[in-house]
Structure 1
Amino acid sequence: MNNYPKSTKLISVKKCLAYSLTFMSIEQVYAAQLTPYTNLEIKGGVTLGASETQANSWYDRDSGQLDSLSGLSLADSVFSLDIATDSNFSYKVHGQASENTESSLGVTEFWANYRPITSSKYRHNFRFGSFYPSMSLENNDTAWTSTYSNNFSAINSWFAEELKVSGLEWSITRPGRAFRSKYSLKGVGGLFIGNDAIGSIISWRGFSLHSAQTNIGDRVYFANYPSLQSGALVRQPNWVNPYLELDNRIGHYLGGHIKHRSGAEVRLYHYDNNGDPLVVKHQQYAWDTRFDTISLFYPIAKDTQFLAQWLLGNTIMGDNAVNVDYRAWFSMVSHDIENYKVSLRYDNYDTVDKDQLAGDNNNGHGEAITLSLANQVNSELNLRFEVTGLNSFQANRADLNQETYTKDAVYQVTAMYRW
């Protein structure tokens, strides 16, 4: 997260543009060294934005729940490196250049895949590293970005900030074709360490809509609410590092995928970081966070898709110092017209304060509509116009002498080039 005011953002822009140009040159500089087993994909560009917001965004240590960058800025530029081998192992690395993260350049995911070859019709896959569990059907593009919009839904914006497991995942797939069935089934299980502080940012800031993926090891900052670093929260700063291992306990998640041969798909996951909320290390509490999520993709027609996702969970920190129920959902319709894609998404989210700690009200609610119109000019260049309108309530904004109810909007025009 940027540790400086907006007046010095130009320095960050220049740095990020330099990093972006570095990304753009990687393929050309190292092309001769890339083997037949290696594939590098790069996506980068710029955004012209304007915002109508009450406050600056959380990454400027304020309470805004939308990206408040105005003028010309670096679009979240990403790369994906795939490395195959002659064995059953393969490797993947995702990274980015971004103005809305603590490090302007960083790695967002990396893992090793092991796919054993057996005589069974069932397919096994193991992956080990730091990555997002495959809960999202919205984030379907390079390095966990989306083809539908620049800004992710509130659910997947939160995942981009705080959800990243470091561990081992095993999946077993029953391919429909191999069993002469219309349905393919997959079961997923994961064990992980770290991700102990997940729950911090939605408890105080609430949900948000953006495309900022936290780099591995980075902090995420938010407003310095008066309730922090005082009283029962005296040891809690206004930032979270979601990747730290604090309590020496192992978390887990379980998932199931059902996919019809038409392309329709449902994914169901249960996540539990198994955190000990009484442990405090490195200025961070180990939150006890768990949730369930369901994702749906349904092809209404050849060129029209419907997507939806639901999230329901709870997070606890300290001796019930913070206890928050949270829920969120979105639905989206996307339609392709020749080289154009138009997507319309509605988001709804709530955080419900269940603790009795005075002076720290975590209640919040929001509704947002996002309209995105993209033109695939050619195989490399994509132009997109996008607008997001958000009506939100966050009780603790009153502690910052801000209006608790706000109506915010962000307008963006983005040019994205793919190598």
Structure 2
Amino acid sequence: MKLCFLTCAVMLALPGAGASAAPDAEWRGLLDVRAVDSDAGRSFLDSGLGKTRYDQNSPRLSIGQAVLRGDVDVLDSVSASLELSADQQHRGIVDVREAYLSWNPVPAGAWKTRVKAGFFFPPTSVELDYDSVGWVPKRTISSSAINSWIGEELRTNGIEWSARRLGRYSGAPYDVGVLAAVYTGNDPTGTLLSWRGWSISDRIAGRNDTVKLADLPVYRPPNGFLLRQWRDIHPFREIDGKLGYYVGANLNFGTRLELAALHYDNLADPQVVKDWQYGWRTRFDHLSAVWRPQGAWELSMQAMRGDTIMGRNGVGLDFQSWFVLASHPLGPGTAAVRYDRFSTSEHDLIPSDPNNEVGYGVALAYDWPLAERLSLMTEALLVRSDRPARSLVGEAPVQKERSLTVSLRWTF
């Protein structure tokens, strides 16, 4: 948290320091206005166990994303970045998505290194448009189940080191990279995945965000087994004072083929409780690939498998998910289709708290550029899931959720 506050202070102080002290920050933004028609039951944002952001009671017109990002060069090789977001479905409306310092020393040879310190996303998603702002997908409106979870429950609040060996310096047809990070503040990671399950949405949590869980009996007074757990989840709290870590590697053959792998472990103590939040020991392995064959096709894939535990195996489950996304230019725009599979499998000591689920999702999207900084995207989304815990709150265990969303995106 201190690193986040330091970066914010640097960003806010530099523009007023005078032109002789430092250049002004470069500000960019994204405004996403959308219309939605959905037949889904109660959304997880309304303390339900639905899988999508919008349900049949959601406003038909809303602001999907409002993002403002500032970047400034502090020194010749040091920069600061701050990203703010706003919408009516977040606590406090305006929040911090990222705030970090980045050191990019001039490479002395084939290796190029970077150090980031602050509050930022782990390098996982292959769905993003890295030339734009906001952690939003490029080809669809919703994110895959994997990246929906990462956007809600994972953030690096620490230091990440990465190095890349550029193949052009050695005559190799590929670039290879490695990375490692240590962080705090991800101890509740796994709470949403266990008691709410996977989601397929584009909701991205801010630094101070909260989510209210469904009113499940396991933490409901007076007879719940876990009465020290509140329904309000703060995903980026530090609970046990221990550092977590992740390590990864990537291999790129130009822009034709990109491969990456990551191992994540928050090393949380699952028996520590602080501020009505348990620590969850959560770890996973993650693989991704992007292939761009001839003919303007782009094929993306991500896969994740891991486990999480809370208490003395009071809640414990294995989780896995994967998706494949294909896109190709069609007419004036780009068409895309994504297929998701996701599941959780419990192995804990409270049979009255079922956390198993299995499901899939299909998204069909079309992105139509209207002008240089204006585009219109349409997405039809179907999510089918089977979660027995829904019967505990009066919902059908098996649900099919359908939505049609039209998004008008303006970048500036």
Q: TM-score, normalised to structure 2's length?
A: 0.91
Q: 2:127 aligns with which of 127, 138, 141?
A: 138
2:134 is paired with a residue of what secondary structure?
helix
AA at the equivalent of 1:359:
S
Identity of aligned residues (%): 28
The answer (yes or no) to whether the contact 2:91–2:208 under 8 Å persists in 1 is: no
1: distance between equivalents of 2:165 and 2:364?
37
1:92 aligns with 2:81: yes
AA at the equivalent of 1:52:
D
2: distance between equivalents of 1:395 and 1:275?
28
2: distance between equivalents of 1:322 and 1:401?
22
2: distance between equivalents of 1:52 and 1:118?
54
The answer (yes or no) to whether the contact 1:197–1:242 under 8 Å persists in 2 is: yes
Aligned residues: 389
1: distance between equivalents of 2:27 and 2:108?
32
Deviation string 1:38-79 (CA, Å, 9 cap, x unpaired) is 3211110311101111x2211111111112234111121212
User: Partner of 2:8 in structure 1?
Assistant: none
1: distance between equivalents of 2:255 and 2:149?
30
The answer (yes or no) to whether the contact 1:101–1:213 under 8 Å persists in 2 is: no
AA at the equivalent of 1:198:
T
1:117 aligns with 2:106: yes
Give the RMSD, CA atoms, in angstroms.
1.9
Q: 1:275 aligns with which of 268, 279, 284?
A: 268
1:196 is paired with a residue of what secondary structure?
coil
1:232 is paired with a residue of what secondary structure?
coil
Shift of 1:101: 2.1
2: distance between equivalents of 1:89 and 1:348?
41
2:371 is paired with a residue of what secondary structure?
coil
AA at the equivalent of 1:60:
D
The answer (yes or no) to whether the contact 1:161–1:220 under 8 Å persists in 2 is: no
User: Partner of 1:50 in structure 2?
Assistant: 37
User: Partner of 1:103 in structure 2?
Assistant: 92
1: distance between equivalents of 2:406 and 2:97?
25
2: distance between equivalents of 1:182 and 1:120?
17
User: Partner of 2:207 in structure 1?
Assistant: 216
1: distance between equivalents of 2:69 and 2:389?
39
AA at the equivalent of 1:214:
A
1: distance between equivalents of 2:105 and 2:350?
52
AA at the equivalent of 1:63:
L
Q: TM-score, normalised to structure 1's length?
A: 0.89
User: Partner of 1:354 in structure 2?
Assistant: 347
User: Partner of 1:129 in structure 2?
Assistant: 118
Deviation string 1:63-100 (CA, Å, 9 cap, x unpaired) is 11112234111121212211123421011112211233
Shift of 1:417: 1.0
1: distance between equivalents of 2:379 and 2:87?
19
1: distance between equivalents of 2:298 and 2:66?
26
User: Partner of 2:62 in structure 1?
Assistant: 73
Q: 1:164 aligns with which of 155, 170, 175?
A: 155
1:194-213 alignment, distance < 5 Å: 194-213=185-204
User: Partner of 1:245 in structure 2?
Assistant: 238
AA at the equivalent of 1:49:
V
Deviation string 1:171-213 (CA, Å, 9 cap, x unpaired) is 1110111221111011000001110000001101110011111
2:146 is paired with a residue of what secondary structure?
helix
Shift of 1:342: 0.8
Q: 1:38 aligns with which of 13, 25, 39?
A: 25
User: Partner of 2:10 in structure 1?
Assistant: none
The answer (yes or no) to whether the contact 1:101–1:212 under 8 Å persists in 2 is: no
The answer (yes or no) to whether the contact 1:339–1:377 under 8 Å persists in 2 is: no
1: distance between equivalents of 2:381 and 2:104?
41
1: distance between equivalents of 2:335 and 2:190?
33
2: distance between equivalents of 1:143 and 1:372?
19
- Gap runs ≥5 in structure 1: 1-29
2: distance between equivalents of 1:85 and 1:177?
30
2: distance between equivalents of 1:297 and 1:103?
37
User: Partner of 2:48 in structure 1?
Assistant: 62
AA at the equivalent of 2:119:
S
User: Partner of 2:292 in structure 1?
Assistant: 299
1:377 is paired with a residue of what secondary structure?
strand
AA at the equivalent of 1:108:
R
User: Partner of 2:402 in structure 1?
Assistant: 409
1:255 aligns with 2:251: no
1: distance between equivalents of 2:155 and 2:23?
30
Q: 1:180 aligns with which of 171, 174, 190?
A: 171
User: Partner of 1:373 in structure 2?
Assistant: 366
2:140 is paired with a residue of what secondary structure?
coil
AA at the equivalent of 1:57:
S
